[in-house]
Amino acid sequence: MTKPYPSVHYHDYLQLDPLLSAQLPKSVEYGQPAHEETLFIIVHQVYELWFKQILHEVDSILTLFSAEKVSENDMGLVVARLSRVIEIQKLLIQQIGVMETMTPLDFLDFRDMLYPASGFQSHQFRMLENKLGLKREVRLTYNSAPYEKSLKPEQESSILDTEKQKSLFECVNSWLERTPFLDYEGFDFWNQYQDTVKKIFKEDSEVIERHEFLSDTDKERNLGVIKKSLESFEALFDEEKYKQAKQTGSWSLSYKAIHAALLIQLYRDQPALHLPFQLIQSLINIDEHLTTWRYRHALMAKRMLGSKIGTGGSSGYEYLRSATEKHRVFHDFFQLTTFFIPRHRLPKMPKEVEHKLGFQFTS
C-alpha cells in the first residue's frame, strides 16, 4: 500500500545537523578549550527544550480551561498532560546531578567567559512562571530592576503579554468557583462542615479537661493549642477575615474557590470528584517539583560558587534559595490540609446528591 506522505529520514526529521552543531564553547573560541563547557551547554540546552515542551502542555491546558465551561470530557486529558509535566520536572531535577559531575574548579576554567549570561535570562522559564500564575508583585527583585529587563529587548513585549493573559492559577480559581455541589439539593457543605469542626474541637477540649493524668499546666497548654487551631479554622469560616488574610498574601484563591477545593479533597472518593481531586494533586506536585528544582539549583550554585556573585550579577545562592518559597504559585492547596477532618466525621451527603456524584449505570 502506498502511503500518502513522502519518506522522511530520522536525521532530517530531527534536524540533527543544526541541533548537534549548536554547542559552541566560548573556551574554544578564546583558544583555551575547557572540556566541561560542552556539558554545561548541553545541560542548559536540554533544559530549554524541556521548557518548550512544558509550555506546549500548559498552553493546551490553558486553552481548555479558558472556556466559560470546562467539559467533563476534557478533564482526563488535562490531568494526563499535567502528569506529563510532572514527569518532565523529575528529569529537570535529575539533570542537576549530571551537572554536578563538573567540579567547581572545572567550572572556573570557563566561568569568566560567560559574563553576564545567566539562567535568569531564560525567556521560556519566565514565560512558564507567568503562565502558571506567578504575579509580578510576588517576584523577588533581580539586580534592582524589573525581571523583564534581564531579557533581550525583543522578548520583553512577549513576556509582558503573558502578564495580561489568564494564568493557569486564575483559570483553576474560576473553575473551582463553578463547583456545583457546595450548596446542592439540601446539602449545605460549608455550614455542615463548620458545625462538624466545632463539635470535634469541643470534644477534644472536653477530653483534655477530664483527663485525670494531665496536670493543670498541661491541660492549659493543650487547651491553648486547640484554641489556636480553632482560630485558624474560624479565619477560614469568616469571609472578611479570609479577605484580610488574602491581602497579606496568606491565601490566593477566592473564598468560594477555597470552599470548593476543600470539598473536592474531602469527598474525593465520590466518582465525579476523583478527576478534580487528581487535578489539584497534580498542581500540588508541579509546585513541589518546581520548589525542589529551585532548591537543588540553589544548592548547586552554593557548591559551585560559594559566596561569589553569579555571572548575571545576582547574589547567586541567596537569590535562588529565597525564590524557593517566595515563587510558589499553588501554596493554598498545601495549606488546605490543615483543615482536613477524618472521613468518618464528614457531613453525610443525601442519597440524591451521592447519586449525582456517583456512577449511575445499572444493568
Q: Which CATH architecture has domain 12-183+251-357?
A: Up-down Bundle (1.20)
For 276-305, the pLDDT digits (tens) are 999 999 999 999 999 999 999 999 999 888
Residue 362 confidence (pLDDT) above 80? no
Average pLDDT, the chain: 91
Average pLDDT over every residue of 10-26: 98
Q: What is the pTM of this model?
A: 0.90
**pLDDT score recorded for residue 112:** 93
Which residues touch 160 (CB under 8 Å, ≥6 apart)?
Answer: 148
Least confident of 46-50, 80-84, 208-212, 329-333: 208-212
Here the cell at position 346 is 464528614
The Cα 333–Cα 306 span in angstroms is 34
Residue 315 confidence (pLDDT) above 80? no
In Å, how far are 41, 69, 71, 102, 122 from 110, measured between CA atoms? 12, 53, 52, 12, 20
The domain segmentation of the chain, as residue ranges, is 12-183+251-357
Residue 316 confidence (pLDDT) above 80? no
For 224-280, the pLDDT digits (tens) are 988 888 888 888 889 999 999 899 988 999 999 999 999 999 999 999 899 999 999
For 130-168, the pLDDT digits (tens) are 999 999 999 988 777 888 998 999 999 999 999 999 999
Which residues touch 219 (CB under 8 Å, ≥6 apart)?
Answer: 208, 209, 211
